[in-house]
Chains A and B, each alone.
Chain A
């Protein structure tokens, strides 16, 4: 079962780390990913470009209109995401709790819809 782990935070939070803490977070992140790679549960991890890079596309009478943003009012927004393939939700939550950013930010866990339906 595949799960999406979304790491939420904001610029203020990301930039508040002292360099040594940031290094530790990077090191722990690499270690966790190496471990998940080893166990065959790791699909991928991606950082998401900052809000200033976000674009919105909307079709206006069939014509695509591209705007900057959204500059969401929310306090926290998506910073990076991981996709894992695990046995159970329990395991997904266990991994989420070990994402170093969970110490300061928040990790949202969502199952991914898949193309196969379990048969009766």
Chain B
């Protein structure tokens, strides 16, 4: 993130969770406050370019959103008229003097974290968590989020309002989860940020600009979480993993939007400063914090990023890290990658042997990636016929269009 020259859009996204935190604190209604802040952001996007950025932009947003909230509450019912007047008074007061929670950056930071926990509430499905996080914490509009997920705006609007209703029904309040639950809830938050990143990073064509934007957004939000929880190794690990992966973005697709495998990428197009930042971060974290899966994945990404050429890759190191990862956070995808690392160090048969352990895993047995990796190792072993069949099987099973084209090309290359 370039702090030096923040764009108006960047500024608004930065301020969105802070303003929302202040409004929710005052009015206690997350769903309506969230709408009010979105309206305030839209008003700012229209007015500030013309009238200039106000001296206290956050205060401006809070005031405008509070005014909307006052209107909202006023509309609600006559029975609650007295509360309305009370709220209106307080909103009016805010225009005269900013309350402590608006000027204390600590409180604003805590608000951002509280919002993240709320948006990643366990009662929500993953797509809803993603959408709500991007809107309430990321400050993106519904239209932007809808574009990023390739669904109509009306669909996304419904999804977001339903998510807010679900949170309300689950009785969630605008408070940090109790310390006993915080660790587990933070895992969910990090996973949501990771999914947002993937959604942006893995898109290779179509409206790719908006989607690349999601990767930037995930990095920005993860940076914000890191500022709030500087001592958490996994937060740092996730940020490093994103930076080290995103550094390859430009080299990851060819001129026609096709996927370029890591081994075939033009490494001069990798973003060196992102790599340097990611490597520093993961190196420091691994030495001082409790080991976790994101840190190990970041360390693996760092080994790849530091190799001048694909042939220079320190596969021994990669394998050692995957062996560790298999202990700390085992899952079938880790096994798959570990098999590749084993093949690179010990030969294709050693990799194929490990892959065979996945055949009985019902999550993986039919997964296109198992077929693709096996085909790759068979190709290494010189069994062209079986490799070709494997690539084609994988191509039929993947739901990703670019990946399908890539796998079909691999199969076609083996025909001669």
Contact = CB atoms under 8 A, between A and B. Distances in A.
Interface stretch (A5-13, A36-44, A52-60, A64-72): A36-44
Contacts of B198: 116, 118-119
Q: Which of A2, A42, A117 has its CB near the most chain B CB atoms (within 10 A)?
A: A117
7 contacts: A37-B154, A43-B151, A85-B127, A85-B155, A115-B402, A116-B202, A117-B403
Given A43-B155, A118-B198, A120-B369, A113 B127 contact: no
B333 A40 contact: no
Nearest to A40: B159
A113 B162 contact: no
A115 B206 contact: yes
B400 A113 contact: yes
A99 to B, nearest CB: 18
A39 B162 contact: yes
A40 B404 CA distance: 28
Nearest to B149: A85
Contacts of B149: 85
Query: Which of A43, A85, A116, A119 is the most central at the interface, judged by chain B CB atoms within 10 Å of its CB?
Result: A116
B400 A117 contact: yes
Contacts of B336: 120
A115 B401 CA distance: 5
Interface string A79-120: 000000101000000000000000000000001111111111
A117 B160 CA distance: 24
Given A44-B152, A113-B400, A119 B162 contact: no
Is the interface on chain B under 10, 10 to 19, 20 to 34, or 35 or more residues? 35 or more
**Could you say which of B128, B155, B201, B333 has the most chain A C-beta atoms within 10 Å of its C-beta?**
B155
Contacts, number: 76
Contacts of B206: 115
A111 B399 contact: yes
B20 interface: no
A111 B130 CA distance: 21
A42 B159 CA distance: 10
A115 B336 CA distance: 23
Find the residue from B125, B157, B211 having the highest chain A CB count within 10 A: B125
Interface string B120-160: 00000111100000000000000000000111101111111
Interface centre among A1, A87, A113 (most CB of B within 10 A): A113
B369 A87 contact: no
A38 B162 contact: yes
| Cβ-closest 10 pairs across A and B | A40-B159, A117-B400, A40-B158, A117-B403, A116-B202, A113-B401, A116-B203, A115-B206, A119-B198, A117-B202
Contacts of B402: 115, 117
A117 B398 contact: yes
Contacts of B160: 40
A120 B151 contact: no
A120 B403 contact: no
B66 interface: no
A22 to B, nearest CB: 28
Q: Which of B128, B150, B160 has the most CB of A within 10 A?
A: B150
A117 B152 CA distance: 21
B205 interface: yes
B400 A118 contact: yes
A40 B163 CA distance: 10
Interface string B195-218: 000110111111000010000000
Given A87-B125, A115-B400, A120-B337, A43 B203 contact: no
A32 B35 CA distance: 27
B259 interface: yes
Interface in A15-41: 37-41
A98 B202 CA distance: 34
Given A116-B203, A118-B198, A120-B369, A40 B401 contact: no
A41 B149 CA distance: 12
Contacts of B156: 40
Contacts of A118: 198, 202, 400
B14 to A, nearest CB: 27
A115 B403 CA distance: 8
Given A115-B203, A115-B204, 20 more contacts: A37-B155, A40-B128, A40-B155, A40-B159, A40-B160, A41-B155, A42-B158, A43-B151, A43-B152, A85-B155, A87-B125, A113-B398, A113-B399, A114-B400, A114-B401, A115-B150, A115-B401, A117-B259, A117-B402, A118-B198
Nearest to B257: A115
A120 to B, nearest CB: 5
Contacts of B154: 37
Most buried by B among A40, A44, A113: A40
A38 B158 contact: yes
Contacts of B150: 2, 114-115
A118 B403 CA distance: 10
A2 B149 CA distance: 10
